[in-house]
């Protein structure tokens, strides 16, 4: 460092030597470090390319100028170059140079502060956003993080455009309480998900994983913490950035829909090989439209993302302003997502020692949810039926040519139908259902933060901040009379009665106040940081639900046009008080200590149990800083870390400790009268769920930073689970909310970063991560096991058992399918060979000759055993290339889709095994429907190319001519390539859409929306 400075000083003198005469005015001033206020010596001050001086030892300078000089350039190694405009009257310019970002990169944002990366003792993953992350064609920030962070499992549980992915950090720690991580945006813990931020506005994201890092968030740290730091302005000339991209989205993979021949085989299989209705196949052949409902259910749509931002500022006022618009089309009919958002942030030095930060983030999102799940509509669209009535079907059904065809048109339901009763289905087809129903959710949200920071002196500061979130979510659902019914067949009265509108409004008001003292000082080899503070947070949620039906017209979707049915509203409030303190200490950069304590009080528990303490401690030892560490070129950095701490969870909803008496109604007389129903036991002993976790880690650096490996092992035990304990219902209630149960999560994580090359012409870095997590139920409130049924209609079973993962699939082991074969008393014309029915023979596990409940066994679980991600960024001259691969292995899903699609438009039956000519009574006894067995359990492993970017930056010379600083064109994609495991047959192996995220009935797929592939082209202009 010193050498470089000397060199610079010499260079500056050289420049001075070329100094030409003819000056007629003098400008004086002093250059200081913006952070410390210390004078800077040797700063180069340039008038033009070859003319300039350097500052003296005390940072002062005096420069003589000629006419026509409009600006001075201040530059110094390790600091950001600053250009200051001057006028003809300027006489004094004092400049404070800001330390360059290269030095800041070593700092990690942690809870309530920052810490030097070298001094970190806890476990975290950090993502500094680069240009690429903002260009991935996804609508949500969380989608852009997939595969980039070890231990952070982000899954596309719903592949619809705009739907939130599930984020789980280091496994599921709770059963009843929610396990979403805490989201903190610029220090404000917001009661919302990551849809609140625009990836283009994000400077960096830090994920805190172990208790030592998250315990400072105490009660809410149990599921990990995601800290988002947004971009802020820097002093200097203002910068403008415009990023526009647009492209197309289409379905990743279609499934195979049975055509007529397969359909026939299934119908036969389901009916003991007998044609259920004479002539039904001839009839189908006559209509045979060979239509695949996927052709009109899914579509190609546009993806557009426009972002404009400007930032800049002076020494005293910095700003960052941005506006963005995303239109993420839904590939499925009825789906779509749009978001418009703005962000304004200002940082003002209102007094020499007082800084005011202000952030304002209004946004508007519009989400169209597909109102009917895929399997429901696909099975109502047999391949023989055309989408719209053609001449043949019109003649047979009496429906006008060109009108939407529904299966029920081909049944006795339709008096005009002249053909064979080909469709037992009474429902409408996909097109009617999807186009006749709208489910729109809009969200208006504004997040405001204000922070005031007082610096008492250079070590000691106080910061008070206020966060305010106001949000309103409105759901408008409207089902037209022809969506589910058909007036011509059902009669107008019935059709009208199926029309329905729902209006839900949910308003959130959240106010948070943090007050924090920070003392930071480096004295010789001691690096000390102490923080202490307290915070309060108040959240209020109000909900309104309105519903009306029997609309006289399909043209008015608002409640006023229908018969009012439901009007109700509810409200709830929550308060949280916290006290926190932390002590970070580093000695000689070798011995590192961090101790923190947080005390949280929550309104969700009874007085006496409200407060809980969440302490943590961590130690680090930087072996490579020791004198005895052998200096070598290979292993250049070694650090060991260890931590232990407690975090909490209170995500069970409000007022759970009370015996709630909930209002209801009874219809007496001719009116409805309020009634009150006792709905739960009181539990004044209810308290915080706690997770104690330990973490051991090592940071290894090779080849002077060219290869960095971070290894972690964690063991987290959550006890006193906030559990809706299943109890004997003879007590009155089915569950009791109590602190009982214990869950353990443990796993390994490795993160590798390798900035292989970093030269002017060529830059190449790769990063990779891999992690495992194994969860085990250690105690389930005194019960050894609980067998739960999933789907009521197509029963599948879930087992929750002490000593095993939280939940496992449970059922019979299928051996061979029941095959429909020829018998003597059946016609031979239509014999399907080897066609299987919806039943299967199952294994007699205990070999007692009877198939009963005792023959059920564990059939797998929904948890991935191994996850990994790989990111590659490569630039050669003007060209750049980057991609991220993500893999997940070992998880299983219970995929009911094949059962549905098998069943598509077949008629009654599915009881081939009851064919007494073929199967003995013993065989008949050993038959179960396929969903009872492992028949529907599929491998959910996958490897996905999450994004792939190719870019070209125009040469600087060319760009400069246009008075711009950057023009870059790029092509980007998401899910360009996606590999499903063998045996997986539906649209999205990550999907989980069965039971509203119930952790004890996880991994159930039923008509999950298909994954999309997006390819976009964009341009990024900066000046």
In the region spanning residues 967 to 1006, those forming contacts with another protein, defined by CB under 8 A, are none
Per-residue mark of binding to another protein, 411-450 (x: CB under 8 A): -xxxx----------xxx----------------------
CB–CB of 689/222 below 8 Å? yes
Token pair recorded at residue 959:
């760009």
> Does position 671 bind another protein by CB under 8 A?
yes
> Does position 23 bind another protein by CB under 8 A?
no
3-state secondary structure (DSSP) of residue 578: strand
Interface with another protein (CB under 8 A), residue from 37, 279, 400, 607 = 607
CB–CB of 698/121 below 8 Å? no
Q: Which residue has the tokens 């043209």?
A: 555
> Does position 803 bind another protein by CB under 8 A?
no
Nearest to 486 by CA among 434, 433, 444, 421: 433
Least distance in angstroms from the C-beta of 782 to another protein: 8
> Does position 676 bind another protein by CB under 8 A?
yes
> Does position 577 bind another protein by CB under 8 A?
yes
CA 321, 325, 328, 334 dihedral sign is: positive
Contact stretch for another protein (CB under 8 A) within 52-60, 181-189, 234-242, 776-784? 776-784
> Does position 138 bind another protein by CB under 8 A?
no
CB nearer to another protein: pick between 180 and 565: 565
Which 582-601 residues touch another protein, going by CB under 8 A? 601
Q: Which residue has the tokens 């055509």?
A: 259
CB nearer to another protein: pick between 673 and 833: 673
Count of CB atoms situated within 10 Å of the CB of 278: 10
> Does position 732 bind another protein by CB under 8 A?
yes
Contact stretch for another protein (CB under 8 A) within 15-23, 790-798, 861-869, 969-977? 790-798
CB–CB of 232/320 below 8 Å? yes
3-state secondary structure (DSSP) of residue 82: strand
> Does position 729 bind another protein by CB under 8 A?
yes
> Does position 191 bind another protein by CB under 8 A?
no
3-state secondary structure (DSSP) of residue 104: helix
> Does position 566 bind another protein by CB under 8 A?
yes
CB–CB of 417/370 below 8 Å? no
Inter-axis angle of helices 260-270 and 280-287, to 10 degrees? 160
CB nearer to another protein: pick between 222 and 427: 427
Contacts of 843 (CB under 8 A, 6+ apart): 812, 813, 814, 815, 855
Least distance in angstroms from the C-beta of 794 to another protein: 6
CA 822, 826, 829, 834 dihedral sign is: negative
Least distance in angstroms from the C-beta of 174 to another protein: 20
Which 264-283 residues touch another protein, going by CB under 8 A? none
Per-residue mark of binding to another protein, 361-400 (x: CB under 8 A): ----------------------------------------
Interface with another protein (CB under 8 A), residue from 315, 783, 822, 966 = 783
Nearest to 947 by CA among 41, 406, 301, 144: 144
Token pair recorded at residue 170:
């280091």
Q: Which residue has the tokens 């023959």?
A: 855
Residue 312, CA distances (Å) to 82, 186, 203 in order: 12, 19, 15
Least distance in angstroms from the C-beta of 383 to another protein: 21
**Which residues, listed in sequence order, are joined to residue 714 by a DSSP beta bridge?**
695, 747
In a 13 Å sphere around the CA of 461, the CA atoms on its Cβ side amount to: 18
Interface with another protein (CB under 8 A), residue from 709, 786, 819, 976 = 786
Question: Residue 380: left if φ>0, alpha if ψ -120 to 50, beta else—which one?
Answer: alpha
Which 505-534 residues touch another protein, going by CB under 8 A? 513, 515, 534
Contact stretch for another protein (CB under 8 A) within 336-344, 564-572, 587-595, 812-820? 564-572
Interface with another protein (CB under 8 A), residue from 18, 89, 560, 731 = 731
Residue 127, phi then psi, degrees to nearest 5 = -125, 110
> Does position 4 bind another protein by CB under 8 A?
no
Interface with another protein (CB under 8 A), residue from 655, 876, 952, 958 = 655
Q: Give the separation between CA 544 and CA 473, rounded to whole angstroms.
A: 10
Which 614-653 residues touch another protein, going by CB under 8 A? none
Interface with another protein (CB under 8 A), residue from 570, 588, 758, 878 = 570
Q: Give the separation between CA 860 and CA 1003, rounded to whole angstroms.
A: 11
Interface with another protein (CB under 8 A), residue from 89, 560, 730, 996 = 730
CB nearer to another protein: pick between 621 and 733: 733
The residue count for the chain: 1023
Least distance in angstroms from the C-beta of 678 to another protein: 5
> Does position 408 bind another protein by CB under 8 A?
yes
3-state secondary structure (DSSP) of residue 195: helix
Which 827-886 residues touch another protein, going by CB under 8 A? 853
Least distance in angstroms from the C-beta of 792 to another protein: 5
Least distance in angstroms from the C-beta of 497 to another protein: 5
Residue 262, CA distances (Å) to 406, 419, 906, 1017 in order: 21, 22, 11, 42
> Does position 261 bind another protein by CB under 8 A?
no
> Does position 353 bind another protein by CB under 8 A?
yes
Q: Give the separation between CA 693 and CA 713, rounded to whole angstroms.
A: 10
Which 911-930 residues touch another protein, going by CB under 8 A? 911, 914, 929
> Does position 794 bind another protein by CB under 8 A?
yes
Which 30-89 residues touch another protein, going by CB under 8 A? none
CB nearer to another protein: pick between 170 and 610: 610
Token pair recorded at residue 873:
């960024």
CB–CB of 351/332 below 8 Å? no
Interface with another protein (CB under 8 A), residue from 7, 787, 850, 962 = 787
> Does position 494 bind another protein by CB under 8 A?
yes
> Does position 563 bind another protein by CB under 8 A?
yes
Interface with another protein (CB under 8 A), residue from 229, 365, 465, 484 = 484
> Does position 350 bind another protein by CB under 8 A?
no
CB nearer to another protein: pick between 24 and 731: 731
Residue 800, phi then psi, degrees to nearest 5 = -115, 120
Instruction: Give the β-pairing of 762-771 and 774-779.
Output: unpaired
């Amino acid at each position: 460092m010193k050498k470089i400075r000397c060199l610079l000083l010499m260079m500056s003198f050289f420049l001075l030597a070329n100094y030409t005469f003819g000056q007629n005015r003098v400008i004086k001033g002093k250059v200081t470090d913006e952070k410390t206020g210390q004078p800077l010596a040797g700063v180069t001050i340039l008038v033009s390319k070859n003319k300039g001086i350097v500052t003296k030892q005390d940072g002062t300078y005096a420069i003589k100028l000629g006419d026509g000089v409009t600006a001075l350039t201040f530059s110094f190694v390790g600091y950001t170059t600053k250009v200051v405009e001057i006028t003809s009257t300027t006489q004094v310019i004092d400049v404070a140079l800001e330390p360059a970002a290269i030095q800041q990169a070593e700092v990690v944002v942690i809870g309530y502060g920052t810490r030097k990366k070298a001094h970190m003792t806890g476990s975290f993953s950090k993502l500094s956003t680069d240009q690429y992350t903002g260009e991935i064609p996804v609508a949500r920030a969380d989608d852009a993080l997939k595969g980039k962070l070890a231990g952070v499992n982000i899954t596309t549980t719903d592949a619809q455009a705009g739907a939130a992915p599930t984020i789980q950090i280091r496994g599921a720690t709770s059963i009843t309480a929610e396990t979403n991580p805490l989201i903190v945006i610029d220090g404000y813990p917001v009661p919302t998900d990551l849809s609140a931020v625009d990836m283009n506005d994000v400077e960096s994201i830090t994920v805190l994983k172990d208790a030592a890092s998250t315990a400072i968030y105490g009660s809410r740290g149990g599921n990990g913490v995601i800290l988002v730091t947004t971009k802020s302005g820097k002093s200097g000339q203002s910068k403008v950035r415009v990023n526009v991209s647009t492209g197309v989205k289409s379905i990743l993979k279609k499934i195979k829909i049975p055509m007529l021949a397969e359909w026939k085989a299934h119908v036969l299989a389901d009916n003991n090989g007998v044609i259920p209705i004479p002539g039904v196949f001839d009839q189908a052949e006559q209509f045979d439209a060979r239509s695949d409902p996927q052709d009109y259910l899914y579509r190609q749509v546009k993806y557009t993302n426009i972002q404009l931002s400007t930032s800049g500022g002076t020494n005293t006022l910095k700003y960052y302003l941005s506006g963005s618009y995303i239109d993420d089309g839904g590939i499925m009919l009825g789906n779509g997502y749009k978001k418009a958002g703005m962000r304004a942030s200002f940082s003002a030095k209102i007094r020499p020692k007082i800084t005011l930060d202000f952030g304002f983030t209004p946004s508007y999102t519009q989400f169209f949810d597909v109102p009917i799940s895929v399997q429901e509509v696909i099975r109502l669209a047999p391949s023989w039926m055309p989408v719209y009535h053609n001449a043949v079907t019109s003649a047979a059904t009496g429906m006008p040519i060109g009108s939407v065809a529904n299966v029920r048109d081909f049944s006795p339901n339709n008096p005009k139908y002249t053909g064979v009763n080909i469709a037992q289905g009474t429902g409408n087809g996909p097109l009617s259902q999807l186009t006749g129903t709208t489910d729109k959710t809009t969200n208006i949200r504004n997040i405001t933060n204000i922070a005031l920071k007082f610096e008492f002196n250079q070590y000691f500061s106080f910061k008070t901040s206020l966060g305010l979130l106001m949000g309103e979510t409105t759901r408008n659902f409207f089902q037209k009379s022809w969506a589910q019914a058909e007036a011509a067949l059902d009669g107008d009265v019935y059709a009208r009665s199926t029309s329905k509108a729902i209006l839900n409004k949910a308003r959130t008001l959240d106010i948070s106040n943090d007050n924090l003292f920070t003392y930071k000082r480096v004295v010789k080899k001691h690096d000390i940081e102490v923080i202490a503070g307290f915070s309060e947070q108040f959240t209020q949620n109000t909900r309104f639900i309105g519903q009306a039906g029997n609309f006289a017209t399909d043209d008015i979707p608002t409640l006023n046009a229908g018969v009012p049915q439901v009007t109700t509203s509810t409200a709830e409030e929550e308060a949280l008080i916290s006290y926190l303190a932390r002590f970070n200490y580093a000695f000689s950069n070798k011995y590192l200590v961090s101790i923190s304590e947080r005390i949280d009080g929550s309104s969700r528990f009874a007085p006496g149990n409200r407060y809980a303490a969440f302490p943590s401690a961590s130690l680090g030892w930087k072996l490579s800083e020791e004198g005895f560490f052998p200096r070598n070129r290979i292993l250049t950095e070694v650090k060991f870390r260890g931590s232990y701490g407690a975090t909490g969870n209170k995500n069970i909803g409000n007022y759970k400790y009370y015996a709630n008496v909930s209002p209801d109604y009874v219809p007496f007389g001719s009116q409805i009268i309020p009634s009150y129903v006792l709905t739960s036991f009181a539990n004044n002993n209810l308290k915080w769920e706690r997770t104690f976790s330990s973490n051991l880690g090592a940071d290894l650096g090779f080849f002077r930073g060219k290869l960095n490996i971070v290894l972690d092992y964690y063991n987290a035990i959550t006890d006193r689970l906030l559990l809706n304990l299943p109890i004997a219902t003879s007590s009155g209630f089915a569950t009791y909310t109590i602190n009982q149960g214990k869950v353990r999560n443990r796993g390994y994580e490795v993160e590798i970063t390798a900035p292989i090359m970093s030269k002017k012409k060529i830059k190449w870095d790769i990063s990779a991560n891999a992690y495992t997590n194994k969860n085990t139920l250690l105690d389930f409130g005194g019960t050894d096991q609980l067998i739960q049924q999933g789907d009521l209609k197509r029963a599948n079973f879930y087992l929750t058992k002490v000593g095993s993962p939280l939940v496992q699939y449970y059922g019979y082991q299928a051996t061979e399918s029941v095959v429909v074969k020829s018998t003597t008393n059946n016609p031979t014309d239509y014999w399907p060979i080897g066609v299987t029915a919806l039943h299967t023979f199952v294994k007699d596990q205990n070999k007692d000759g009877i198939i009963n409940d005792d023959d059920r066994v564990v059939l797998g679980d929904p948890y991935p055993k191994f996850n990994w991600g790989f990111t590659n960024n490569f630039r050669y001259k003007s060209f750049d290339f980057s991609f991220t691969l993500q893999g997940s292995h070992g998880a299983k899903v219970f995929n009911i889709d094949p059962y549905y699609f098998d069943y598509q438009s077949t008629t009654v039956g599915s009881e081939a095994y009851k064919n007494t000519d073929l199967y003995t009574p013993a065989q008949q006894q050993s038959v179960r429907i396929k969903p009872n067995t492992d028949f529907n359990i599929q491998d959910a492993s996958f490897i996905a190319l999450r994004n792939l970017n190719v870019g070209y930056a125009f040469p600087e010379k060319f760009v400069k001519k246009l008075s711009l600083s950057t023009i870059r064109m790029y092509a980007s994609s998401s899910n360009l390539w996606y590999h499903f495991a063998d045996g997986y047959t539906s649209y999205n192996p990550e999907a989980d859409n069965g039971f509203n995220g119930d952790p004890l009935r996880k991994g159930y797929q039923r008509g999950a929306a298909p994954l999309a592939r997006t390819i976009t082209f964009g341009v990024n202009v900066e000046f």
